[in-house]
Structure 1
């Protein structure tokens, strides 16, 4: 039998320098083809029931690397702000009393732009992909010949480079050349990109928390550089998950607010009463601060998109209080360049509010 002793080995692998998961949710207004819109209007005029579905067209997912600039963050040397574009095609179909409407099966493109801070040293590459797409047609928000699609897109972004590693996870180089009689040229040892140890891989969180609310709520919205606005009441959907499974990358915050049009906000801007609807998605989280097993605070950044407006980057600060029974509360402040939102929810006033905060067991140092 040929001996096979255990010894050090050198392997060629793809090394992950950084890895994040991003989520986008937005409502896109889509033009209905002229033939389809005419068929919808005729069917409605005859008293028929109109329904609609939307779904991803298989094989249309794509991701484009746009560019990168230095992040200039002292605490994370080597970080870059990376711009990415994600694309997918969505099929929309309308039905009359459950039967397909002629000419009402069409495809529209949907795209999201993202900026994310990554460890992206020279010599590495961006590997990004879309791993889930969900779509819903919002029929109660048809605007003339336009229909609103509620699209959620989940993306995976990795920074990679092909390297040679020992099994114990150290870089390795080629063996020395065995000379053949005369000496020859000796190639230099290849150099691999250095890791960014300050922020990837990340430490476990000290605590984790979650909050969920869907219902009517009064919030504060201030718009414009003069921060005009006040309280406004409407439909609020808030979902927060901080350090899911005690991992910072398992964090998300999604807010959708649909304003109930009327004399809000107060005071009313003199020029008109503007709809205060918006969406917000958190994109980056700092490590949370933990106060026992009842309170969690975390800061970060995200993207807020006002109704009919342009998405803008914003800072956020959220506090979760898990005080049973009956005293749970959530406080969320979103501060953008032209839009500031303050949301304060208590279980006493908002009975559907659910908040959970708990400890995390960290790995031993």
Structure 2
């Protein structure tokens, strides 16, 4: 929008805003989530199609239900297993981990040789994902919501009074399942392992509410765009036929 300043309206103002003390971006890699052996199927909680008799892997064995040639996908959800947008504010928990003695300070050398005092900030990120395993016939098994978490350590300009502001800017989840053939019977498979890797990108800022004195102009809104009704459009006519005299009959 093109806001215009009010002529002669400049004055000293006191405004209340969030000041950014430090700001970094970083990729976070969640430690690999691995489930091994049929005993771990209870922790995954796969819900598979009913009416199919599973093989020795158990009632929640996707390899037994679906066969050995499977596709796997995983996606972020809430605690109830409902899909979410991981980039939406608050969709993924990201908060500072309080330290009993407060944020420890340390001296760090900058590339130009000078030193700066920074504080150690511990950050926790956590959420849930669901894994869906499918076969070529369109049948699928869906897991319970699986929790994940990762904690990180940052050295930031974070003096007392500042608070953490965290934003997730990218989220990627990959899963891989391993099925093994049972005995020599073709087409009979059993769950062996499920591996899940999660990577995300983040903006981490330390902020504090401050009051600033600035000299500025007042502004006024731009002129509104006038609404003009479009001209009426009529279909093309055939003036030689109508409303004219029309063609002269022949052969009559």
* Distance in 1 between residues matched to 2:145 and 2:69, nearest whole Å: 22
In 2, the alpha carbon distance for the partners of 1:88 and 1:134 equals 13
The question of whether the paired residues in 2 share the 8 Å contact of 1:89 and 1:110 is answered with yes
Corresponding position of 2:73? 53
Maintained 8 Å contact 1:86/1:112? yes
Pick the structure with more strand per residue.
1
**1:33 corresponds to 2:41:** yes
- 1:120 maps to 2:152: no
Aligned counterpart in structure 2 of residue 42 of structure 1, from 46, 64, 68: 64
The SS at the match of 1:123 is coil
Say if 2:21 and 2:205, in contact at 8 Å, map to a contact too. yes
**Alpha-carbon distance change, 107 to 4 in structure 1, aligned in 2, over 3 angstroms:** same
Cα shift at 1:112: 1.1
Distance 2:179 2:158 in 1: 42
Larger Rg: 2
Q: Deviations over 1:83-138 (max 9, x none)?
A: 11111211111113252435x33211111111111001122111223232111112
Q: Contact 1:22–1:154 (CA<8 Å) still a contact in 2?
A: yes
Structure 1 counterpart SS, 2:62: helix
1:143-169: CA deviation from partner (whole Å, max 9, x where unpaired): 964311121111221111111113369
1:163 pairs with 2:210: yes
Residue aligning to 1:11: 15
Question: Alignment partner of 1:33: what SS?
Answer: helix
Structure 1 runs not aligned, ≥5 long: 170-365
Q: Mind listing any 5+ residue stretches in structure 2 that lack a counterpart?
A: 1-5, 47-56, 78-83, 85-89, 181-189, 217-252
Tell me the SS of whatever aligns to 1:42: helix
Aligned counterparts, 1:34-183, within 5 A = 34=42, 36=46, 38=58, 39-43=61-65, 49-57=69-77, 58=84, 60-66=91-97, 67=99, 68-73=103-108, 75-102=114-141, 104-139=142-177, 145-167=192-214
Q: Report if aligned partners of 1:60, 1:89 keep a CA contact under 8 Å in 2.
A: no
Q: 1:8 to 1:98 in 2, by over 3 A?
A: farther
Q: 1:13 to 1:101 in 2, by over 3 A?
A: same
TM-score (norm 2): 0.56
Q: 1:64 to 1:3 in 2, by over 3 A?
A: closer
Q: Closer, same or farther in 2 for the Cα pair 1:76/1:125, shift >3 Å?
A: farther
Q: CA deviation at 1:33?
A: 2.6
Cα distance in 2, alignment partners of residues 165 and 33 from structure 1: 57
Q: How does 1:213-362 map to 2 (within 5 A)?
A: none
Higher RCO, Cα 8 Å, sep 6+: 2
C-alpha distance after superposition, 1:160-187 (max 9, x if no partner): 1111113369xxxxxxxxxxxxxxxxxx
Tell me how far apart the structure 1 counterparts of residues 146 and 91 of structure 2 sit (CA, whole Å). 11
What is the alpha-carbon root mean square deviation over aligned residues? Answer: 3.1
